[in-house]
Amino acid sequence: MSDERRFNSYRSLFKIHFKIYEVGGKPLPRPVPLDGLIIGLVLYFPLLPLGHMLSPSHPWLITLVLAAGAACALLQLDPQGKFAPVFIKDLVLYFFRPKTTNLAGRVIQRFHRRKINWEALEVVEN
């Protein structure tokens, strides 16, 4: 158990939303959230084949628009109050984590199923 204590006056510091307001000294028409930028970059490469199918002449541009739209849609979700990449990491780890644990959090070893050869003896009456 850690000795960390959070006071109510500092609680708002842990909910800071980082945004990019300007690029190269030029202001953006709308601030871009940092987690939206990270989600867009993560989605860019998986969406690249779809961009090639939709526009063979400029696939990178269509893919950029698709990734930005998907990132904007994903930002509307509330991933349990976590930073979106951390939520995605926790979700992926959930699928690979063993599902049977004891109360201490240790993995319970599964029993191996073995086939049993049952033989019934004949009863002969005299």
List, for residues 80-91, the tens digit of each pLDDT value.
Answer: 777 767 888 888
Residue 6: burial class (beta carbons within 10 Å; 0-12, 13-18, 19+): exposed
Residue 44: both structure tokens together: 């860019």
Per-residue pLDDT at 3: 65
Q: Binning pLDDT at 50, 70 and 90, where does residue 108 land? A: confident
> What pTM was computed for the model?
0.49
Which DSSP category does 99 fall into?
S
Alpha-carbon distance 38 to 100, whole Å?
Answer: 33
Q: How many degrees, rounded to 5, is the angle at CA 51 between CA 78 and CA 75?
A: 10
